Amino acid sequence: MTEWLSKREMNDVVPAEQDAHPSPVPTRVVSNGEYVPLPQTPNQKKVEARIDDLGDRYGKKVGLDRRDFLKTASGMAAAFLAMNEVYGGLFDVGEAEASDFGAAGERASGLAGQLIFDAQTHFNRDDLHDPEPIDVGKFAAKHWNPDMLDEMGIIHKRFQFEYYLKEVYLDSDTKAALLSTVPFADRPWLITNEQAARSRALVNGIAGSRRMLCHSGFTPGRPGWTDHVDEAIELYKPDSWKGYTIGDPLKPGDSKHPWRLDDEKLVYPFYEKIQKAGINTVCIHKGLIARDYEKAIPGIWKHATVDDVGKAARDWPGINFIIYHSALRPFIEIPDRDAAEFEETGYIRWVSDLAKIPEKFGVNNVYGELGTSFANTVVTHPRLCAAMLGTLIKGLGANRVIWGTDSTWYGSPQWQIEALRRLEVPEDMQERHGFAPLGGASSAVKNAIFWGNSAKIYGLDAADTHGALQNDSIDAIRSEYQVSGIKRSNHAYGYVHKG
């Protein structure tokens, strides 16, 4: 395993596979060797202790030790029971699931056919060897999904094509996914527009159905950018477009091409062109910048906000504007400040601004997508996650919230799927802020978020698509995979703080 820890720092850590808690949900901060992991927090200790207790109790009843029990569907349920005890009753889980394999299995099989469209997924080129671009993956492994590290500790292997197919289509209930791109010329590890289109053709050709959709990226202001748009329209025929108004989100301070959605001279001709071509959905990265953004990137940080969305949406009612990450501000950090701010004021930085756009501008073509924002909040501040969903649904409408996971940056999307299925907006939050309940795992609201809202945008008819997916090659492969009996390991690979 690659490591940068000094000899002194190595005295403060132990290998995670020897000491980390083998839990369905992470209970330790795990380092991949590039930083000293933080000590376990008080809440993490509480969750871990309860998972141990429940694992011992329920495992004994079925003749399994704790470790093997926690690999099962009942073990996953036990972990959510523990989460509820520590964070409050936010997740819909009953003791029967943890104590009865039959009940847990019946629930899982009953939901396996649920239509789920993931509107934001990624993988890297197979020749990636430089670990620089996967800081988001390192953050996820450190804070809330250590199982995404492979047994050799080489995290970038998790972000290549073969892992993508396994983790999205075999290890999760995802039925169809949109492959996203990042339009930066100096990012050789990321797939190009052409490679995205080829990947779509390959997956759909193997499946015999429409399992994969794809973006083409665009960057207004970059030399030759309109030629690239013309090329994509003619050759790649993307399902939608992906852009970054801040320029390069990984190096925004060096960005040469920040731009605004409401720039009439630069961007409006693009809208006219794509609308004429019939590819009228624009997905825009917003939010996800560092805590010190005002000092670190003065002048540029405003491009990460949503202050340019309303006018553009009003001027171009035939364009769907999908705001990725729903503009949640924190990037590679735990959103402590945002959680505290919401509890005090009812405001979530930039998410609340997004939710106000339909009323303020009189538009119905603005959507909020959940990639990374859901993953980060649901396992660190689940009340904030519920508040974010409540805010978006209240402002945009339940029919304009889009499911996306940013997988495979954070491993298989199944844990995120399971979290949304179980999550509910607390009653006190519903009463105080006028939020609607999310409902059960397959409620109308959650089914709309998981599938219906994106299906309408991308022309995925539920009846036709479901029938095709139930009889395609990927469904057959997944059935064989499940019969094999392979289970998750719950192992973490890396280092945890000693003690």
What's the full length of the chain, in residues? Answer: 499
Tell me the β-bridge partners of 282. Answer: 241, 321
Cβ 176 vs Cβ 460: under 8 Å? yes
Per-residue pLDDT, 492: 47
Per-residue pLDDT, 335: 85
Q: At which residue do the structure tokens 């509480």 appear? A: 46
Q: At which residue do the structure tokens 């997924």 appear? A: 121
d(CA 374, CA 260): 25
Q: What is the pTM of this model?
A: 0.84
3-class SS letters over the chain: CCCCCCHHHHCCEEEHHHHCCCCCCCCCCCECCCCCCCCCCHHHHHHHHHHHHHHHHHHHHCCCCHHHHCCCHHHHHHHHHHHHHHHCCCECCCHHHHHCHHHHHHHHHHHCCCCCEEEEECCECCCCCCCHHHHHHHHHHHHCCHHHCCCCCCHHHHHCHHHHHHHHHHCCCCCEEEECCCCCCCCCCECCHHHHHHHHHHHHHHHCCCCEEEEEECCCCCCCHHHHHHHHHHHHCCCEEEEECCCCCCCHHHCCCCCCCCCCCCCHHHHHHHHHHCCCEEEEECCCCCCCHHHHCCCCHHHHCCCCHHHHHHHCCCCEEEEEHHHCCCCCCCCHHHHHHHHHHCCCCCHHHHHCHHHHHCCCCEEEECCCHHHHHHCCCHHHHHHHHHHHHHHHCHHHEECCCCECCCCCCHHHHHHHHHECCCHHHHHHHCCCCCCCCCCHHHHHHHHHHHHHHHCCCHHHHHHHHCCCHHHHHHHHHHHCCCCCCCCCCCEEECC
Q: Two tokens at 230?
A: 């013309």
Per-residue pLDDT, 184: 61
Neighbours of 130 (CB within 10 A): 10
d(CA 199, CA 197): 5
d(CA 362, CA 492): 48
d(CA 85, CA 93): 11
Bridge-based pairing of strands 401-402 and 495-497 is unpaired
d(CA 327, CA 351): 5
Per-residue pLDDT, 32: 42
Sheet holding 117-121, edge to edge: 117-121, 176-179, 212-217, 240-244, 281-285, 320-324, 366-369, 401-402
Quick one: which of 118, 249, 267 has its CA closest to 190? 249
Cβ 354 vs Cβ 396: under 8 Å? yes
Rg of the chain's alpha carbons, rounded to an integer?
22
Mean pLDDT for each 10-residue chunk of the chain (499 residues)? 53 62 64 53 82 92 89 88 92 93 90 94 60 52 58 46 80 92 61 88 90 93 92 96 84 76 98 97 92 78 95 98 96 85 97 98 98 87 96 98 86 86 97 97 97 94 69 83 63 55
Neighbours of 317 (CB within 10 A): 11
Per-residue pLDDT, 493: 43
* Structural domains of the chain, ranges and CATH numbers in brackets: 9-108 (no CATH), 117-469 (3.20.20.140)
Per-residue pLDDT, 6: 61
